[in-house]
Structure 1
Amino acid sequence: MELTASLLEKYSKPGPRYTSYPTAPYFDEKFGASAWLDELQQTQASGRDLSLYVHIPFCDSLCYYCGCNMVATQNYSKATQYLGFLFQEIERMAALTLPGRTVRQIHWGGGTPTYLHPDDIRRLFAHLRASFNIAADAEIGCEVDPRELSREHVQALADSGFNRLSLGVQDLDLTVQQAVNRVQSASLIHEVYGWMRDAGIPSINMDLMVGLPHQTVASFSQTLEQIIAMAPDRLAVFSYAHVPWMKKHQKLIQETDLPDLPTRIALQQLLLEKLTHAGYVYIGMDHFAKPDDELVKAQRNKTLYRNFQGYTTHKDCDIYAFGVSAISQTDEVYVQNAKNLAEYQQRIAAGGLATERGLRISREDRLRRDAIVRIMSDLELNKMEFSRHWQIEFDSHFADALSELADMQADGLIELHAEVIRVTETGRLFLRNIAMCFDAYLKQPAVNEPRYSRTL
């Protein structure tokens, strides 16, 4: 794979990660709780399965790189109070859901879901199980911070039925860890990973991050070697998104300490070389998995999908999301809960849903979303099949996209054929940029303030 400074410089620009289309900045407060209630009632007979997301915002301490909706506190009573509101929200949504609908996927994110005490992990999951019809083979995942974790936490997750855990590592170099206020030794990661294997967790993912302060090729190479030796089932290696205008605490990171352009290029090359040599398949969008992993099989079979939970094998599911800032989705609607913790709790206390804003998407939105998802999941888009499905003439409908894609073909990111658009090996690093060509909203007049992190 050829990755040059000129390519990185040309395509490293602000852009969405496309966990939705249209993206969250276009959600509108005019679409609120009453509109979401109507949508819930109208879609119960759709026959679509469910995916449940639960947001636990709490962390013991602040990681300076964090881009999530989180609350750093060591006052556990806040979590106890939050669970009370969360249970109410779950009960209200369950009351609106036909009993026959099946939950195929559950994911807990944060913050740090394992901030919860082991007994509360069991209590929360038992509440979900009592409220919804969860399939026996459901994919049940949770994000895990190794710090403050105990073997009892891991056992509580296993007892509850979690079968996929994502272990937050980021980097094993002490200098990097100190710069982002997340110190966790390699021995701790080994120990926690061992607990997960001992508990029989079938699939373990490790989250890493490139572009952090003081990161070098030599230091990150050592991190990768230690991680590869542990042989996690999946790896998510995210590029650090420096957005201090959105996340004020990122100002605690000195921009002069961030890797320069040549280092970022070298880090990307290092990732691809070491992980592919170790036998991992590069799916795209920072994700690697072993060849027998479900994500790899789904990509091969063209059944991979992308939504707010990232890459998934569960395409035809409505997402019901619980907790502060959580985003729910049906085929035609997105809604987001209040992003402020106090506001979220006030809305639940008032007896309604926590919806703050949302969007009903048009047929054109759905059409373009399909194109973006296919590119990011299949790494190709069959123009003839797409045209038949949507009853359009592809080249005229996407004339704007094709003119941009022609430049990308010249740069070796894609191959443009009469019947198919295909992403090259090099292009996998630039999936966000390729998808942006199909984004009609980006072609509207620019806003004053940046909305997105850089694509690389």
Structure 2
Amino acid sequence: MTTADILFRPDLLAKYSANGPRYTSYPTALQFRDDFDSEHYARAAADPGAAETDLSLYFHIPFCDTVCFYCGCNKVATKNRSRAKPYLEQIRREIELQAQLFDTARPVSQLHWGGGTPTFLSLDQMSELMAATRDHFRLRPDNEGEYSIEIDPREASADTIVHLRALGFNRLSLGVQDFDPIVQQAINRVQPLELTEDVIGAARASGFQSVSVDLIYGLPHQTVGSFARTLDTMLSLAPDRLSVFGYAHMPHLFKMQRQMDAAALPSPQERLALLRLVTERLTAAGYVYIGMDHFALPTDELARAQAQRTLHRNFQGYSTRADCDLIGFGASSIGKVGDVYVQNAKDLPGYAAAIGGGRLALTRGVRLTADDRLRRDIITELMCNLELRFDEVEAAHCVHFPTAFAPELERLREFEKDGLVARSTNRIEVLPAGRMLVRNIAMVFDRYLGAQRAERFSRTV
């Protein structure tokens, strides 16, 4: 029996397929309140105990030259490059405002530029933004920090990659989605293979520590045969990590998805066949299945962290930096400081007005309760390290786990019967067949899920 045979159980995937959170946070962003008191954020930032943790910085660059029809990100499609200049001026001011709240002696061990398309910026603008960051925050040395950026190969030459490495970036994430030209036309992302090869080659030559690639299954006109060719091509490029997401068709939320022919989407049975293909090809090639949609080479830091039970999740997904306070910069960015989650204004005018008025652009947020913190730790352990040890939870939160979570443990019996989890007197273990359904397992411990509209979430399979 192959690894894929153990991981992929079509009967169980069909049985448990449902809409559910990805748990980049708990509570999820649906629990953020518009009447959030931003003073909670300021107090959390000033807490003397917070100085013991490192900082993580996230910068949202929303601009895209061309819109991809599948995309559900907060973005601004424009060919007007001059729009970046005032936005960067606002981010520089936001950096100053945020730095005033924190002990800037705290080191930064993680930094990420996302979007949109960060490489929409010119090389000079990238340099200026990184310089402003270093003026106000102390970044750890290259061999101690994780500094990543999302790349669109259509917007990045080999010179761009060399420049980014010189700025201090040491991890690269690039979108591909599919190499098939028919699929690329359908999703409005025409990206010749040569562009991707050039970016990955430049990253290797420049000394990037890790290269991650995004693919998507379930797109219009995809077939098992066509996606097999995409996977074979990608494996020849040997990225350190692969994220193979299931496309979430939610045109009621993302109007641009209406540009695609819904009749050309793979059927539920075809989606399962595509997912099995992904599992077979990547595990046979030696990639470790981390969970959900993520695969990594055994030598990659992500796989090593999971083996050592130090893997974590934050608003960017799986992370090897567990205890950082996250500061978000730019429109729609999300931060986590202590027991507080916050989000900036999503629209550019609202963001600009707040920053121009000399105040942070925080518009939504939530302050976690003791129960939130408890359930966050449970969900994180299950999602990341595939194991929950009751004694660790009890020591950290002063609860008797079997008593406090008796209803949840009862609901897990069905998962046990189906071979997705194993439970003993002191722990829950996610079995190999449960890895693809780990979101469903985590959902058992989500106190808010019943009151949330399921259509706000993507399918778990």
TM-score w.r.t. the length of structure 2 is 0.95
> Where do residues 198-347 of structure 1 align in structure 2 (5 Å cutoff)?
198-347=205-354
| Structure 2 Cα separation of the partners of residues 45 and 398 of structure 1 | 30
What whole-Å deviation, never above 9, does each CA across 1:100-119 have from its counterpart, x for those lacking one? 11100001100011111111
Displacement of 1:2 in angstroms is 5.9
- Please show how residues 287-436 of structure 1 align to structure 2 within 5 Å: 287-436=294-443
1:164 corresponds to: 171
Distance in structure 1 (CA, Å) of the matches to 2:218 and 2:406 = 35
Q: 2:90 aligns with which of 85, 88, 104?
A: 85
Tell me how far apart the structure 1 counterparts of residues 452 and 47 of structure 2 sit (CA, whole Å).
35
Deviation of the 1:373 alpha carbon: 0.2
- 1:128 corresponds to: 133
Alpha-carbon distance change, 451 to 19 in structure 1, aligned in 2, over 3 angstroms: same
Flag the 1:92–1:433 CA change in 2: closer, same or farther, 3 A. same
Q: 1:95 aligns with which of 97, 100, 113?
A: 100
Deviates more, 1:44-53 or 1:96-105: 44-53
SS in 2 for 1:168: strand
Q: Is the 8 A contact 2:13 2:437 kept in 1?
A: no
**What are the Cα deviations for residues 8-35 of structure 1, in whole angstroms up to 9, with x where unaligned?**
3322211000000000011001114343
Aligned-pair CA distance for 1:51: 0.4
Structure 2 unmatched ranges of 5 or more: 1-5
RMSD value over aligned CA atoms? 1.5
Change (3 A) 1:427 1:164: same
Specify the code of the residue in structure 2 equivalent to 1:420.
R
Distance 1:440 1:390 in 2: 17
For 2:50 and 2:25, the matched residues in 1 are separated by 23
Say yes or no: does 1:191 pair with 2:198.
yes
For 2:65, the equivalent position in structure 1 comes to: 60
Do 1:51 and 1:106's aligned partners in 2 also have CA atoms closer than 8 Å? yes
The CA distance in 1 between the partners of 2:87 and 2:324, in whole Å, is 27
**Could you say which residue in structure 1 is the equivalent of 2:147?**
140
Letter in 2 for 1:7: L
Change in 2 beyond 3 A, CA 1:43/1:322: farther
The answer (yes or no) to whether the contact 1:89–1:353 under 8 Å persists in 2 is yes
Counterpart secondary structure, 2:446: coil
Residues paired across the two proteins, number: 454
Amino acid at match of 2:460: T
Amino acid at match of 1:303: T
Provide the C-alpha distance between the structure 1 equivalents of 2:436 and 2:35, rounded to a whole number of angstroms. Answer: 37
Match of 1:118 in 2: 123
Return the alpha-carbon distance in structure 2 between the equivalents of residues 177 and 382 of structure 1: 45
- Which residue pairs with 2:3 in the alignment? none
Cα shift at 1:254:
2.3
CA–CA separation in structure 2 for the residues paired with 1:221 and 1:11: 26
Superposition deviation, residue 389 in structure 1:
2.8
- Report how far residue 99 of structure 1 moved: 2.7
- Whether 1:24 aligns to 2:29 is yes
Hey, what's the Cα distance between the residues in 2 that align with 1:199 and 1:388?
Answer: 46
Specify whether residues 38 and 2 from structure 1 end up closer, same or farther in structure 2 by C-alpha distance, changes over 3 A only.
closer
Q: Distance in 2 between matches of 1:356 and 1:400?
A: 35
- Once the two structures are TM-superposed, the CA of residue 331 in structure 1 deviates from its matched residue by 2.6
Contact 2:69-2:187 at 8 Å conserved across structures: yes
Question: Which of residues 6, 9, 12 in structure 1 aligns to 2:14?
Answer: 9
| Cα distance in 1 for residues equivalent to 2:17 and 2:459 | 6
The unaligned stretches of length 5 or more in structure 1 are none
SS in 1 for 2:175: strand
Conservation of the 8 A alpha-carbon contact between 1:281 and 1:288: yes
The whole-number CA distance in structure 2 between the counterparts of 1:109 and 1:43 is 30
Deviation digits for residues 133-156 of structure 1, max 9, x if unmatched? 111121100000011322222122
